[in-house]
């Protein structure tokens, strides 16, 4: 073999716009599975006569399966390529959404949602790995922020649209809409997105090398800092996603459509955070950006807890802190997702999978907790948001602060 032949090929030339659009659509499958369903959860509980823990399992089981399955899909994508894993995952996601829409009882619904979480994992883990295939971490964080601006638009539309659909056709209609949306995304990806991996790793799924790779990733201080930041901030967001419908609809009497509009305020704030993120990364770097964002996160969490502990009976007392938290999340998420895989150009799939597992396991634990404590009292919901906000802030101001910083102007 010649020396030239031994040099790995360069990654495909993919424009920032196409990469951001593909990432937004792939990551958008998650709010399709969660945000669109939020207004339908109380309707689902009444229609299937399901207790609160079972209703929360329709979300928590999806998230847990999402986390565990990434540990399989990530190494598989390193071995056989991004595109086959991606297309198989989105196709399975579509089929699972349709199966869930036809479920006759909550147990069957949970089973279909679990399968949907497995499929969702393929899309998300490949999205993060593709970002590392194409770009260095600093540039990747800016592309991710651009993608998350697009995701913000999806997040704004999802609860509003979900509320309208649930109000019109019930919870089954929301799942049918999720299936139709994912089928359209599958068609776009099949037609436009190339394979991005430069050099496949034939040993990526072998147990010995895989465990060694995960051990190397898990011990890396850069991975630990960014993965924990992402898990903590998403924990707070998941609390809002899984718990706010019962607070806003049951306590404040909002209808499904009104609740969707209420949640859109947080999505608008999140979109603003992703826009600010791109500018802050350029001028201040990733570490300083998330330390600044932590101030908004902390204010949002403590504001939510303060409103609940003071017994304030105003919807805006919860919506405004929610917006602050979501603004901070819009900065933490792109930095955290790009930063966690940054040190591992040859094992981006494995690193992405491990980061995703940490995030999903955190969300699953919170979902199980909410299933036990959610009720007429708003304080458990509010204190959970505050706990995640404080944890996010501590990680940003300690572990992330210690990382080396490179500012690109």
**Stretch 265-270: mean pLDDT:** 86
DSSP 206: S
Q: Which two tokens stand for residue 212?
A: 């060694």
Residue 3 has pLDDT above 90, yes or no: no
Q: Alpha-carbon distance 165 to 306, whole Å?
A: 33
Residue 94 has pLDDT above 80, yes or no: yes
Please list, in sequence order, all residues whose beta carbon lies within 8 angstroms of the beta carbon of residue 86, skipping any fewer than 6 positions away.
26, 77, 122, 123, 126, 189, 193
Q: Which two tokens stand for residue 99?
A: 């199966």
pLDDT given at position 2: 42
Q: Alpha-carbon distance 366 to 244, whole Å?
A: 13
> Of residues 268 and 327, which shows the higher confidence score?
327
Mean pLDDT of all residues belonging to the chain? 85
> Of residues 233 and 67, which shows the higher confidence score?
233
pLDDT tens string 169-188: 888 998 998 999 999 999 99
Q: Which two tokens stand for residue 382?
A: 């509010």
Residue 409 has pLDDT above 80, yes or no: no
Residue 6 has pLDDT above 50, yes or no: no
Report helix, strand or coil for 204.
Answer: coil
Give the Å distances, CA to CA, from 328 to 139, 275, 295.
20, 11, 8
């Amino acid at each position: 073999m010649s020396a030239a032949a031994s040099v790995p090929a360069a990654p495909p030339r993919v424009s920032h716009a196409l990469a951001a659009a593909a990432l937004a659509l792939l990551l958008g499958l998650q709010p399709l599975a969660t945000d669109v369903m939020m207004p339908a959860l109380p309707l689902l509980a009444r229609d299937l006569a399901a207790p609160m823990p079972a209703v929360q399992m329709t979300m928590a089981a999806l998230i847990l399966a999402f986390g565990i399955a990434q540990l399989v899909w990530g190494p598989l994508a390193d071995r056989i390529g991004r595109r086959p894993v991606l297309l198989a995952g989105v196709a399975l996601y579509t089929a699972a959404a349709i199966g869930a829409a036809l479920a006759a009882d909550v147990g069957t619904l949970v089973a279909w949602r679990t399968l949907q979480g497995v499929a969702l994992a393929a899309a998300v883990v490949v999205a993060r790995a593709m970002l590392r295939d194409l770009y260095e971490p600093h540039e990747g964080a800016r592309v991710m922020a651009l993608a998350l601006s697009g995701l913000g638009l999806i997040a704004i539309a999802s609860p509003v649209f979900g509320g309208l659909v649930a109000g019109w056709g019930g919870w089954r209609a929301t799942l049918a809409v999720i299936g139709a949306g994912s089928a359209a995304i599958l068609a776009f990806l099949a037609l436009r997105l190339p394979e991005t991996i430069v050099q496949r790793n034939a040993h990526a799924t072998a147990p010995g090398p895989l465990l060694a790779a995960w051990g190397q990733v898990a011990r890396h201080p850069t991975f630990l800092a960014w993965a924990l930041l992402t898990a903590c901030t998403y924990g707070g967001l998941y609390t809002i996603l899984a718990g706010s419908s019962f607070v806003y609809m049951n306590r404040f009497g909002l209808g499904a459509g009104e609740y969707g509009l209420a949640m859109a305020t947080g999505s608008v704030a999140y979109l603003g955070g992703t826009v600010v993120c791109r500018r802050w990364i350029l001028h201040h770097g990733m570490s300083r950006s998330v330390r600044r964002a932590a101030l908004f996160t902390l204010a949002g969490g403590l504001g939510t807890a303060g409103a609940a502990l003071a017994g304030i009976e105003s919807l805006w007392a919860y919506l405004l802190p929610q917006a602050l938290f979501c603004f901070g999340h819009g900065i933490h998420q792109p930095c955290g997702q790009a930063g966690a895989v940054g040190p591992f150009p040859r094992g981006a799939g494995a690193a992405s999978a491990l980061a995703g597992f940490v995030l999903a396991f955190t969300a699953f634990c919170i979902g199980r907790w909410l299933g036990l404590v959610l009720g007429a009292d708003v304080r458990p919901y509010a204190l959970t948001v505050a706990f995640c906000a404080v944890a996010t802030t501590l990680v940003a101001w300690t572990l992330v602060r210690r990382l080396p910083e490179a500012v690109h102007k």
